[in-house]
Amino acid sequence: MSDQAVPRIELLAIPHIPLIQPGDDLPGVVLAAAAAAGIDWRERDVLVLAQKIVSKAEGRLVYLPDVTPSVRALDLAAATGKDPRLVEVILGESAEVLRVRPGLLVVEHRLGFVCANAGVDQSNVAGSDDWALLLPADPDASARRMRDAIRAASGADVAVIVSDSHGRAWRYGTVGVAIGVAGLHPLSDLRGQPDLTGRALQITEVGTADEIAAAAGLAMGQAGEGTPAVLVRGATFAAGEGRLGEILRPRAGDLFR
């Protein structure tokens, strides 16, 4: 007997995606790379795009020599040891600063999630330290554009997640999480469904979009742009016109600020 009969989820890293430059047609690049690799698009596939290529294609770059740090940025730069201009950029992307430590600013991003340094990245940008890369302006919208392009090219209804790597409150190491979604609800709500013994489940709201993003993170290669687009095939999720905000705890319900 062969294991080929066992149902499986597959994570396919779309090969040979070139380095993305500002203004590139990212959906076109990803569709071409998938086609060249013989990857077709199927109903209920999920495409996960690393934030970095989305942000670069959208030109979310800031030239640090053009940035004048505020007094607050200078203070936070002294406390963290960061470049004051970079801190100014981080503050511009933040709704609230939650923690300040050497090397680290933990913030609520203007998009509503909590992350380090507002997702602003100096690494791997245009071959220079003088640039900062911001997250996409509206990652749900970025995901929708990719989803629409796949549907236009193939006819298939494919969900799309824009992912980033986030640290966690109580564990070392980053894991992939969703920062934008299209074509799925990020949570799978199973509250009230009975378990195998007929007892009602207690805690059964699952962060499916984040599990998919974490799975894709395994396939992305850990140096960032190696394989920034991963197709997840066979996962179960709640299809629909979801928004990332559905998975974010509102400030009032947050026990850990």
Closest CA to 141 of 247, 243, 246: 243
Q: What whole-number distance in Å separates Cα of residue 66 and Cα of residue 49?
A: 29
Cβ-contact 106, 99 below 8 angstroms: yes
Cβ-contact 45, 233 below 8 angstroms: yes
> Which residues fall within 8 angstroms of residue 166, CB to CB, at 6 or more apart?
113, 115, 116, 174, 175, 177
Nearest distance in Å: CB 127, its own copies: 5
Residues 65-94 that bind its own copies (CB under 8 A): none
For 42, the token pair is: 């199927």
Per-residue binding string, its own copies, 128-147, x by CB under 8 A, is: -x------------------
User: Residue count at the site for its own copies (CB under 8 A)?
Assistant: 90
Nearest distance in Å: CB 193, its own copies: 7
The interface region with its own copies, picked from 54-62, 88-96, 140-148, 166-174 by CB under 8 A, is 166-174
Q: Is 97 in the site for its own copies (CB under 8 A)?
A: no
Residue 188 φ then ψ, to 5°: -105, 115
Nearest distance in Å: CB 21, its own copies: 13
Closest CA to 103 of 80, 77, 73: 80
In one-letter notation, the amino acid at residue 19 is L
Q: Is 99 in the site for its own copies (CB under 8 A)?
A: yes
The interface region with its own copies, picked from 61-69, 71-79, 152-160, 230-238 by CB under 8 A, is 230-238
The interface region with its own copies, picked from 22-30, 138-146, 147-155, 174-182 by CB under 8 A, is 174-182
Q: Which of 24, 29, 32, 39 binds its own copies (CB under 8 A)?
A: 39
Please tell me the total number of residues recorded for the chain in this structure: 257
Q: Is 118 in the site for its own copies (CB under 8 A)?
A: no
Q: Is 47 in the site for its own copies (CB under 8 A)?
A: no
**Residue 5 or residue 71: which is nearer to its own copies going by CB?**
5
Q: What whole-number distance in Å separates Cα of residue 206 and Cα of residue 210?
A: 9
Q: Is 114 in the site for its own copies (CB under 8 A)?
A: yes
Q: Which of 177, 179, 181, 229 binds its own copies (CB under 8 A)?
A: 177
Count CB atoms within 10 A of the CB of residue 81.
10
> Which residues fall within 8 angstroms of residue 232, CB to CB, at 6 or more apart?
9, 10, 11, 45, 46, 47, 48, 212, 215, 216
Q: What whole-number distance in Å separates Cα of residue 234 and Cα of residue 212?
A: 11
Q: Is 193 in the site for its own copies (CB under 8 A)?
A: yes
The interface region with its own copies, picked from 57-65, 88-96, 111-119, 155-163 by CB under 8 A, is 111-119
Q: Which of 20, 116, 118, 229 binds its own copies (CB under 8 A)?
A: 116
Residue 129 φ then ψ, to 5°: -80, -5
**Residue 71 or residue 203: which is nearer to its own copies going by CB?**
203
Nearest distance in Å: CB 151, its own copies: 19
